[in-house]
């Protein structure tokens, strides 16, 4: 064996070790550099992102009617080289934009909402600040894509547009069932808030059912021949009386609230149709299901008492939120690093949102970054107005930088992604009646 080759063979293990060591040493600075690049690329889009949010503020569209918002958001994604499919899961205003670099690698999915609230007089408005979510998610997705392209980092970036967060039935559940999120490693979203905070790790939040009870009777002249009528409003009133009695015996953490959505048109006409719409909630799905059975029995009994018929429609189910420390803590640290306002160090519990269902199926985070004054109520005109002011622009841009940074970490750091997935697996199933007191906060 020639001396040169023998020497190379002797040195090979040592060279490998040196190479491995240098890779390890370089890993952290490289990640810092890539993240800094991504943040700069978000910053470079700032003006465009502000304009997008401002445009949606001026052109608010309620759930399932967000046609212009979808055109605006998907237009920007197409311009930036994403493949876009509109109308996924049979929902006209749902979309999925995808980008793939190389083969293999993790898939980061940014989730964006864009529906406005139905306001007084039927006028829509962005009181839940969903007009900031698209710009934040798109800014991050485009920045991450550009960093991956420049550095030949394999992986996928998705932007999934989920309509109608404010109106049941929950669109995300339908998209989940249709497999729209299948293949995603981590789901990332931002939601505007009065403070910058993080969720306490583990299961939290309140599960909820929304159900309509439509009673059908028979109209008649209320004075001339009331004996020919079957009063549907009587059934609704009896239902409310029975629910009030039931409320005394439900678990302390449970809630029931309802309104009458149809109650007749004139006092001198026996109402042939009347309708009640109820939400009932509890920290466990198990108990909400039990409440649902009792509510249905109450409605059927009210129908029986009045000789009417009842049609029961459950039009939305919400689930518990699963928060992962690996995502929450890092996102919170980045938010502070990038200058998020109104930082609240106290970890929070999740609320009732259709994002919660996704968090139980995939590792996921919905960031809360300050984007409105602390004392501005949720779903208020003041919250909507904040989206076009300095505070809204600033919060949205910080959120976009946090989302981009998390994307870089997930795509480039296999150990970090594994820690997220391990924590997700360890969380186990959502709380039951037997376990919820130990794990659920609200
Ligand atoms: Zn919202
Ligand atoms: Zn809302």
Record the tokens describing residue 225, joined without a space: 């021949």
Residue 11 scores a pLDDT above 70: no
* CA atoms of 133 and 126, how far apart (whole Å): 11
Helix (H) or strand (E) holding 192: strand 186-193
* CA atoms of 172 and 174, how far apart (whole Å): 5
- How far is ligand 2, taken at its centre, from the CA of residue 308, in Å? 36
Residue 2 scores a pLDDT above 70: no
Record the tokens describing residue 338, joined without a space: 């990038």
- Residue 314 makes CB contacts below 8 A (sequence gap 6+) with 209, 210, 211, 292
| pLDDT band, residue 251 (cuts 50/70/90) | very high
* CA atoms of 400 and 402, how far apart (whole Å): 5
| pLDDT band, residue 30 (cuts 50/70/90) | confident
Task: Please give the pLDDT value at position 13.
Answer: 53
pLDDT > 90 fraction of the chain, expressed in percent and rounded: 84
Task: Please give the pLDDT value at position 119.
Answer: 82
- How far is ligand 1, taken at its centre, from the CA of residue 130, in Å? 6
Residue 365 scores a pLDDT above 80: yes
- How far is ligand 2, taken at its centre, from the CA of residue 167, in Å? 9
- How far is ligand 2, taken at its centre, from the CA of residue 260, in Å? 22
pLDDT > 70 fraction of the chain, expressed in percent and rounded: 92
Residue 75 scores a pLDDT above 80: yes
The answer to whether 130 and 114 have CB atoms below 8 angstroms apart is: yes
Task: Please give the pLDDT value at position 380.
Answer: 94
What's the average model confidence in pLDDT over 106-129? 93
Task: Please give the pLDDT value at position 31.
Answer: 87
- How far is ligand 2, taken at its centre, from the CA of residue 10, in Å? 66
The answer to whether 130 and 69 have CB atoms below 8 angstroms apart is: no
What's the average model confidence in pLDDT over 179-196? 98
Bigger pLDDT: 348 or 9? 348
Q: Which of 353, 215, 228 is nearest to 272 (CA)?
A: 215
The answer to whether 432 and 284 have CB atoms below 8 angstroms apart is: yes
Least distant ligand from the CA of 368: 1
* CA atoms of 208 and 317, how far apart (whole Å): 6
| pLDDT band, residue 350 (cuts 50/70/90) | confident
Distances (CA, A) of 53 to 11, 92, 131, 183, 436: 59, 21, 5, 29, 39
Task: Please give the pLDDT value at position 5.
Answer: 53
The answer to whether 186 and 359 have CB atoms below 8 angstroms apart is: no
| 90-103 per-position pLDDT tens digit | 999 999 999 999 99
The answer to whether 342 and 194 have CB atoms below 8 angstroms apart is: yes
Angle between helices 133-151 and 67-79 (to 10 degrees): 20
Which letter does DSSP use for residue 379 in this model?
T
| 300-322 per-position pLDDT tens digit | 999 999 999 999 999 989 999 99
Least distant ligand from the CA of 113: 1
Average model confidence (pLDDT) across the chain: 92
Task: Please give the pLDDT value at position 26.
Answer: 47
Residue 252 scores a pLDDT above 80: yes
- How far is ligand 1, taken at its centre, from the CA of residue 269, in Å? 40
What are the beta bridge partners of residue 282?
A: 207
Architecture of domain 27-204+320-439: 3-Layer(aba) Sandwich (3.40)
Task: Please give the pLDDT value at position 184.
Answer: 98
CATH ID of 207-318, from 3.30.70.360, 3.40.190.10, 3.40.50.10320, 3.50.50.60: 3.30.70.360
Residue 407 CA neighbour count, 13 Å, CB half: 39
- 410 sits in the region (left: phi over 0; alpha: psi -120 to 50; else beta) called alpha
In angstroms, the first-to-last Cα distance of the chain is: 73
- How far is ligand 1, taken at its centre, from the CA of residue 116, in Å? 9
- How far is ligand 2, taken at its centre, from the CA of residue 427, in Å? 27
| 154-187 per-position pLDDT tens digit | 999 999 999 999 887 889 999 999 999 999 999 9
Residue 10 scores a pLDDT above 80: no
Instruction: Rank 13-27, 94-108, 428-442 by mean pLDDT and report only the highest.
Output: 94-108
Where do runs of H (alpha helix) occur along 178-318? 232-247, 285-306
| 20-29 per-position pLDDT tens digit | 444 444 456 6
Task: Please give the pLDDT value at position 400.
Answer: 98
- How far is ligand 2, taken at its centre, from the CA of residue 130, in Å? 8
The distance of Cα 193 from the centroid of its chain, to the nearest Å, equals 13
Q: DSSP letters along 162-179, please?
A: ---SSSSSPHHHHHHHTT
Q: Which of 365, 380, 298, 376 is nearest to 342 (CA)?
A: 376
Residue 342 scores a pLDDT above 70: yes
Task: Please give the pLDDT value at position 9.
Answer: 56
The answer to whether 129 and 366 have CB atoms below 8 angstroms apart is: no
- In degrees and rounded to multiples of 5, residue 180 shows phi and psi of -60, -35
The answer to whether 180 and 299 have CB atoms below 8 angstroms apart is: no
- How far is ligand 2, taken at its centre, from the CA of residue 284, in Å? 21
CA dihedral 282, 181, 134, 93 (to 10 degrees): -90
Q: What is the pairing mode between strands 95-101 and 155-161?
A: antiparallel
| pLDDT band, residue 442 (cuts 50/70/90) | very low
* CA atoms of 188 and 404, how far apart (whole Å): 10
* CA atoms of 38 and 153, how far apart (whole Å): 13
* CA atoms of 232 and 216, how far apart (whole Å): 6
| 228-242 per-position pLDDT tens digit | 999 999 999 999 999
What's the average model confidence in pLDDT over 254-278? 96
Task: Please give the pLDDT value at position 438.
Answer: 55
Task: Please give the pLDDT value at position 205.
Answer: 87
What are the beta bridge partners of residue 260?
A: 276
* CA atoms of 96 and 163, how far apart (whole Å): 12
* CA atoms of 334 and 427, how far apart (whole Å): 24
Residue 3 scores a pLDDT above 80: no
Would you list the domain boundaries of the chain? Answer: 27-204+320-439, 207-318
Task: Please give the pLDDT value at position 407.
Answer: 98
Where do runs of H (alpha helix) occur along 45-122? 46-58, 67-79
Record the tokens describing residue 323, joined without a space: 């928060």
């Amino acid at each position: 064996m020639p001396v040169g080759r023998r020497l190379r063979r002797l040195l090979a293990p040592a060279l490998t070790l040196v190479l491995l060591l240098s890779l390890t040493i370089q890993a952290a600075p490289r990640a810092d550099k890539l993240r800094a690049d991504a943040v700069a690329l978000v910053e470079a889009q700032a003006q465009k992102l502000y304009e997008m949010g401002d445009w949606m503020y001026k052109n608010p569209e309620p759930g399932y009617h967000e046609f212009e918002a979808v055109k605006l958001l998907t237009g920007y994604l197409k311009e930036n080289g994403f493949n876009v499919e509109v109308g996924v899961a049979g929902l006209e205003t749902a979309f999925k934009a995808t980008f793939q670099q190389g083969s293999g690698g993790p898939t980061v999915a940014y989730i964006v909402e864009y529906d406005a609230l139905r306001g007084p007089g039927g006028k829509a408005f962005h009181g839940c600040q969903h007009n900031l979510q698209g710009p934040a998610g798109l800014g991050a997705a485009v920045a991450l894509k550009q960093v991956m392209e420049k550095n030949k980092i394999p992986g996928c970036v998705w932007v999934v547009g989920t309509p109608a967060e404010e109106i049941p039935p929950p669109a995300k559940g339908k998209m989940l069932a249709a497999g729209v999120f299948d293949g995603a490693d981590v789901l990332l979203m931002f939601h505007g808030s009065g403070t910058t905070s993080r969720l306490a790790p583990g299961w939290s939040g309140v599960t909820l059912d929304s159900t309509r009870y439509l009673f059908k009777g028979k109209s008649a002249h209320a004075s001339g021949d009331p004996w020919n009528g079957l009063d549907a409003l009587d059934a609704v009133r009896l239902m409310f009386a029975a629910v009030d009695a039931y409320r005394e015996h439900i678990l302390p953490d449970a809630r029931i609230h309802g309104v009458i959505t149809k109650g007749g048109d004139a006092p001198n006409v026996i109402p042939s149709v009347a309708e009640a719409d109820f939400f009932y909630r509890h920290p466990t799905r198990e108990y909400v299901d039990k409440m649902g059975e009792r509510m249905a029995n109450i409605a059927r009994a009210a129908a029986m008492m009045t000789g009417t018929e009842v049609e029961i429609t459950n039009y939305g189910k919400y689930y518990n939120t699963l928060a992962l420390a690996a995502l929450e803590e890092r996102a919170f640290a980045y938010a502070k690093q990038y200058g998020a306002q109104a930082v609240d160090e106290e970890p929070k519990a999740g609320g009732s949102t259709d994002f919660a269902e996704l968090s139980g199926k995939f590792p996921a985070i919905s960031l809360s970054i300050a984007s409105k004054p602390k004392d501005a109520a949720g779903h208020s005109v003041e919250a909507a107005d904040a989206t076009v002011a300095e505070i809204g622009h600033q919060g949205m841009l910080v959120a976009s930088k946090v989302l981009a940074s998390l994307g870089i970490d997930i795509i480039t750091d296999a150990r970090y992604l594994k820690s997220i997935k391990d924590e997700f697996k360890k969380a186990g199933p959502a709380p039951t009646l037997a376990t919820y007191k130990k794990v659920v906060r609200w």
